[in-house]
Amino acid sequence: MGMTITGKILKAHTGDGTCEVGREIGLIIDQCLTQDSTGTMAWLEFEALGLDEVQAKRVVSYCDHTSLGFKGESTDDHYFLQTIASHFGAIYSKPGNGVCHQLHYERFGVPGETLLGADSHTPTCGGLGMIAIGAGGMDVAVAMGGGYFYLTVPEVLGVNLTGSLNWGSSAKDVILMILKEISVKGGVGKVLEYMGDGVKTLSVPERATITNMGAETGATTSIFPSDEVTRLFLRGQKRESDWKELKADEDASYDDIIELDLDMITPQVAMPGMPDNVHPVEEVAGTPIDQVFIGSCTNGGYADIRKAALILRGKRVDPSIELIISPGSRQVLQMLIKDGSFEALIKAGARVIDPGCNACIGIGFVPGHGHLSLRTVNRNWAGRGGSKFGRIALCGAELAAASAIKGEITDPRELDPVKVDMIDYIVDDLLMLKPQGKKVEIRRSPNIAQLRRQIPLPDLLEGEVLIKVADGISTDDILPAGPSTQHLRSNLPEISKFVFSYQDDGFYARCREKNGGFIVGGENYGQGSSREHAALAPFELGIKAVFAKSFARIHHANLINVGIIPFVCDTDEMKQGDRLSIDVTDLRGELEVSINGSKKIPVSHNLSERDIAILKAGGLLAYTKEVKN
Ligand code: MIC
Ligand code: SF4
């Protein structure tokens, strides 16, 4: 039986275990990336491993989320990251250089290699034919140190693309249609592997838009073949020698296949709430908007912003709204300056900001009370833009630009088609700093708090249910990003004050008063980002276990890594204030939790032998040290 691309890369990188669907393997990681908001922890964790330098083939530490340095603490974090990366042998991408995912596929991604990144949108590099996976900081720290990344071998969902996109529809609409079809849970335990004749009609940046937002389906990652289109892209980036062809065998077997005719794709909008709340534009056209934002790691590429500039050229942004343009990288910005797009955008009344994430997670341009912000980003749940009172809808660049002109959601097909003629990529690595080694002293500010030592798991867990939350709770619900927390990512005691602050502002005080306890959730608990802080901060507050109906992959791993047990049970039986007790001496045996000393209900988990050993040791760092000694 022939193999898929996913199967080929996973097999070639299996360092421990047998590469069969459903089995746990230790994956050899070629490249790692960190960014500033998860990176301070990842680097502290790497340091705690006691190694001399990074061991993975290539490690890049990016500064993009708070690159504007909106608070002194963030600037302190940047200098910490710059010096620690240099000290331990990693490349550092300076603030203003762009968003990690955009930069990584431009400058470092290599078809056929593996990438582990401390950010959930790491799969963006799947657009180049990499197995690129998002993970929590501790997993990335271990991989930077040359350790395996452990994962359950996913199924492969083939997505067969035929035809080609018509004017008005874009790669963003492709992934929005997929989300509509399979939902925010449809990719769990799977890799989305693209194939078919339609693939060759998509550029690498378009493929990267699709693999980027595959993260919103819950998929482990997404991948495209590496073909002539990939070769031309890498040639443009002056690194054609990194190219190699990658394709599935003719008789490759997929666990399932979705068919998608690109000719049938029409412009779509994901209305506020969830990324799968997708509607054809006709259903929502005319809805008033207050803001348009074009950029991010999903649609911050040259062609997207060029398209917007061509649409806006000679016109003006509706005066009742604002338009913000955030190029994905300095390369993109330079190209937009060169071809006149920058000028066209400014003349139309747009505000063009420094390449980086910033506004995508609410650092600046936070939507006002009840406002609707139409964005080309990838997430639209409540609070995402930095305020729980703002609302976000998602779409592609041409729909966003057309809507900016009218001040309401607009079908781009109402406008004359525009065509992007590609110009040469401008390759300039000025802000990519090469490591200088041990002579570089690590700069630490008082905001960089020490990590708490991980201690072995006790035999009995007892305490109160401190909060009960609904289905689909995201890591943004657990620990909001945005202006109140972004500068505190290196300071767990301080950031932990914001856990569940949008849901219940008494949660922190309750944790302190009760000396910790339990969280109860519903389905897909912890969906969304790789934000390890959504596990580290509850740990800081004394949370011992989370009981939920199901968990999202990265958050599940993060909980284990910090030493919090993710239990699966019928949480309808539990409510806030219940006293729970559970004997965890034997996590391999039958488990039950006692509720208020009387009722007992069965509890299960999805823990591997290794997960159990990690939890017993108190967390991944303690375990890794234990195994090493
Ligand atoms: C996000 O888009 O939610 C983030 C901010 O990039 C996160 C990482 C973080 O919380 O720092 C992610 O996607 O993992
Ligand atoms: Fe940055 Fe937004 Fe992409 Fe997250 S989703 S990496 S915040 S641009």
Count the domains in the chain: 3
Looking at the fold, whether 224 and 277 belong to one and the same domain comes out as no
Looking at the fold, whether 110 and 140 belong to one and the same domain comes out as yes
The 10s digit of each residue's pLDDT in 388-403 is 899 999 999 999 999 9
Looking at the fold, whether 224 and 276 belong to one and the same domain comes out as no
Among residues 523, 549, 552, the alpha carbon closest in space to that of 535 is found at: 552
The 10s digit of each residue's pLDDT in 168-204 is 999 999 999 999 999 999 999 999 999 999 999 999 9
The 10s digit of each residue's pLDDT in 4-24 is 999 999 999 999 999 999 999
Of the listed ligands, the closest to the CA of 124 is: 2
Q: Is residue 235 part of a domain?
A: yes
Q: Is residue 407 part of a domain?
A: yes
CATH label of the domain that carries residue 99: 3.30.499.10
Q: At CA 499, angle to CA 539 and CA 625, rounded to 5?
A: 25
Q: Is residue 594 part of a domain?
A: yes
Distance 295 CA to ligand 2 centre (A): 10
Looking at the fold, whether 228 and 347 belong to one and the same domain comes out as no
Distance 65 CA to ligand 1 centre (A): 8
Looking at the fold, whether 607 and 464 belong to one and the same domain comes out as yes
Q: How far apart are CA 265 and CA 254, in angstroms?
A: 24
Looking at the fold, whether 249 and 300 belong to one and the same domain comes out as no
Last residue of a domain, one of 253, 284, 302: 253
3-state secondary structure of 623: helix
Q: Beta strands of 535-628 (E only): which ranges? A: 543-548, 565-568, 579-583, 591-595, 599-603
Q: How far apart are CA 562 and CA 86, in angstroms?
A: 27
Q: What is the pTM of this model?
A: 0.96
Looking at the fold, whether 243 and 137 belong to one and the same domain comes out as yes
Q: How far apart are CA 290 and CA 368, in angstroms?
A: 9
Determine whether the shortest distance from the Cβ of 121 to ligand 1 is under 6 A: yes
Q: What DSSP string runs through 431-476?
A: TEEPP--TTSPPP--TTSPPPPPP-PPPSEEEEEEEEE--TT-BHH
Looking at the fold, whether 39 and 119 belong to one and the same domain comes out as yes
How far from the centroid of its chain's Cα atoms is residue 313's Cα?
A: 33
Q: What DSSP string runs through 352-379?
A: E--SSSGGGGTSS----TT-EEEESSS-
Distance 357 CA to ligand 2 centre (A): 5
Determine whether the shortest distance from the Cβ of 410 to ligand 1 is under 6 A: no
CB atoms within 10 A of CB 271: 19
Residue 599 lies in domain? 460-628
The 10s digit of each residue's pLDDT in 430-486 is 999 999 999 999 999 998 887 888 899 999 999 999 999 999 999 999 999 989 999
Distance 526 CA to ligand 1 centre (A): 12
CATH label of the domain that carries residue 580: 3.20.19.10
Q: Is residue 481 part of a domain?
A: yes
The 10s digit of each residue's pLDDT in 402-446 is 999 999 999 999 999 999 999 999 999 999 999 999 999 999 999
Determine whether the shortest distance from the Cβ of 212 to ligand 1 is under 6 A: no
Is there a contact between 97 and 431 (Cβ–Cβ < 8 Å)? yes
Last residue of a domain, one of 379, 399, 414: 414
Q: Is residue 168 part of a domain?
A: no
Ligand 2 atom closest to residue 300's alpha carbon, by position in its atom list:
8
Is there a contact between 297 and 375 (Cβ–Cβ < 8 Å)? no
Looking at the fold, whether 87 and 10 belong to one and the same domain comes out as yes
Looking at the fold, whether 58 and 207 belong to one and the same domain comes out as yes
Looking at the fold, whether 477 and 591 belong to one and the same domain comes out as yes
Q: 593 CB contacts (<8 Å, ≥6 apart)?
A: 547, 567, 569, 580, 581, 582, 600, 601, 603
Query: Which phi and psi angles does 526 have, rounded to 5°?
Result: 85, 25
The 10s digit of each residue's pLDDT in 229-263 is 999 999 999 999 999 999 999 999 999 999 999 99
Looking at the fold, whether 520 and 474 belong to one and the same domain comes out as yes
Q: How far apart are CA 483 and CA 439, in angstroms?
A: 35
